[in-house]
């Protein structure tokens, strides 16, 4: 890619239940970031239905890309590169984005680069703040919960992750148990704000694999058993649901923050960055703020739009990859799971 020319990278993400496209100018300036959520489509089913999700991406992606271009006040011929998520995610969904991106790159004769969704989350804070290395980064989303020690754009060491459910998955499952709908995270967050977090105590899972590994499936089971008991005794009420939401959230946040604290004590990093959908959570945001203050650590959590799935974070990592000459061939494939490097 010509380094002196103004670059306009189109970033596309169709990995799960959000169709998103963004335009990034000169690797830094977000001109547009359009996210179309499929919440209404999946709500009646209480979770994402992969086949419905991919069909909806197919229908909406051309419109969303058109909207991203028009908000950025540029046209297809101005694009200098395309970045698209190729893993991890729902395979049918990924293939929609990848096939579209390949066809567009071929017809416009511009380079294509494929982006790892988790790397995009990990670097999404830099859509809004300066990169400082080394940093401790946590990606906490619906599909993943992992801690990374990052020395540079290409030196990323995963020091721990969940051994079962992701934190967002636990939020979604507990919301379902409480009959609150999908996606559960934002609803549990709101309900927890009305409840008393000290009413129910949960035992923290001990994960043998290492100090920075997480486990949330036992917590979900504990909530489920507790609820069963409460319902059998006919004691379920709005207040019970609020207290349970608050107590559950306290435990998830406590588990995440205790491991971040330990990692900050072990590794001499310059900054702490949290990203992914669960990073929107109000209790997690304030707990991280307190921890960073206590440890005198520079930290940043992106705004909600940049925490959840979006095309700008794909364009950000994609732009860097294109600068490095990492161009994907037109026969590249999508993968439901793949390592970050
Ligand atoms: O990063 P993301 O948009 O998609 C994945 O890559 O998974 O994250 C979605 C997840 C869902 O599980 C959703 O319930 C959770 O993020 N989430 C939240 C909040 N907002 C979204 N979890 C807790 N509190 C929130 N406020
Ligand atoms: Zn995501």
Interval 251-290: pLDDT, tens: 999 999 999 999 999 999 999 999 999 999 999 999 999 9
CA 162 to ligand 1 centroid distance, Å: 15
Interval 150-162: pLDDT, tens: 999 999 999 999 9
Interval 71-125: pLDDT, tens: 999 999 999 999 999 999 999 999 999 999 999 999 999 999 999 999 999 999 9
Name the nearest CA neighbour of 158 among 132, 133, 139: 139
Query: How high is the pLDDT of residue 205?
Result: 86
3-state helix, strand, coil in the chain (%, to 5): 50, 20, 35
Place of tokens 């419109």: 63
Query: How high is the pLDDT of residue 181?
Result: 85
Checking if the pLDDT of 4 tops 90, the result is no
Query: How high is the pLDDT of residue 295?
Result: 96
Question: What percentage of residues in the chain have a pLDDT greater than 70?
Answer: 99
Query: How high is the pLDDT of residue 43?
Result: 87
Would you state the torsion angle of the CA atoms of residues 33, 129, 123, 151, taken in this order, to the nearest 10 degrees?
170
Query: How high is the pLDDT of residue 3?
Result: 56
User: Residue 137 forms beta bridges with which residues?
Assistant: 148, 273
pLDDT, mean over the chain: 96
Q: Kindly identify the ligand whose nearest atom is closest to the C-alpha of 140.
A: 1
Burial 95-107 (b: 16+ CB within 10 A, else e): bbbbebbbebbee
Query: How high is the pLDDT of residue 233?
Result: 97
CA 305 to ligand 1 centroid distance, Å: 11
- Ligand 1 mutation target, pool 46, 94, 141, 282, most atoms within 8 A of CB: 141
Q: For ligand 1, which residues put their CB under 6 angstroms from it?
A: 16, 141-143, 168, 171-172, 183-186, 189, 276-278, 280-281, 308-309
Other Cβ atoms less than 10 A from the Cβ of 273: the count is 28
Query: For the whole model, what pTM was predicted?
Result: 0.96
Checking if the pLDDT of 39 tops 90, the result is no
Distance CA 248, CA 246 (A): 6
User: Span 55-59, mean pLDDT?
Assistant: 97
CA 153 to ligand 1 centroid distance, Å: 25
- Ligand 1 mutation target, pool 308, 310, 336, most atoms within 8 A of CB: 308
Checking if the pLDDT of 1 tops 60, the result is no
Query: How high is the pLDDT of residue 46?
Result: 82
Other Cβ atoms less than 10 A from the Cβ of 289: the count is 12
Ligand 1: nearest atom to the Cα of 172: 14
Checking if the pLDDT of 47 tops 70, the result is yes
Interval 209-230: pLDDT, tens: 999 999 999 999 999 999 999 9
């Amino acid at each position: 890619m010509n380094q002196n020319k103004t670059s306009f990278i189109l970033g596309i993400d169709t990995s799960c239940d959000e169709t998103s496209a963004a335009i990034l100018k000169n690797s830094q300036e977000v001109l547009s970031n359009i996210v179309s959520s499929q919440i209404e489509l999946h709500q009646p089913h209480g979770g994402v239905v992969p086949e419905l999700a991919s069909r909806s991406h197919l229908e909406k992606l051309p419109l969303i890309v058109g909207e991203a271009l028009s908000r950025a006040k540029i046209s297809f011929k101005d694009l200098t590169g395309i970045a698209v998520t190729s893993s991890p995610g729902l395979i049918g969904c990924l293939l929609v984005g990848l096939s579209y991106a390949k066809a567009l790159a071929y017809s416009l004769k511009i380079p294509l680069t494929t982006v790892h969704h988790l790397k995009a989350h990990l670097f999404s804070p830099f859509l809004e703040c300066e990169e400082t290395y080394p940093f401790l980064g946590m990606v906490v989303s619906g599909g993943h919960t992992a801690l990374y020690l990052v020395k540079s754009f290409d030196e990323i060491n995963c020091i721990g992750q969940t051994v079962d459910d992701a934190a967002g998955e636990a939020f979604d499952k507990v919301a379902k148990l409480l009959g609150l709908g999908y996606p559960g995270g934002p609803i549990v967050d709101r309900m927890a704000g009305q409840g008393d977090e000290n009413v129910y105590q949960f035992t923290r899972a001990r994960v043998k694999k290492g100090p920075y590994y997480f486990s949330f499936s036992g917590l979900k089971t504990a909530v489920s058993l507790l609820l069963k008991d409460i319902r059998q005794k006919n004691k379920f009420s709005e207040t019970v649901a609020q207290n349970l939401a608050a107590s559950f959230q306290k435990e998830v946040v406590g588990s995440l923050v205790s491991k971040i604290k330990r990692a900050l004590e072990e590794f001499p990093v310059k900054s702490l960055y949290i990203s992914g959908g669960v990073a929107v959570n109000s209790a997690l945001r304030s707990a991280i703020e307190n921890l960073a203050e206590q440890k005198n650590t520079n930290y940043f959590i992106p705004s909600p739009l940049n925490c959840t799935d979006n095309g700008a974070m794909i364009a950000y990592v994609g732009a860097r990859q294109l600068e490095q000459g990492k161009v994907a061939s037109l026969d590249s494939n999508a993968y439901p799971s793949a390592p970050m490097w």
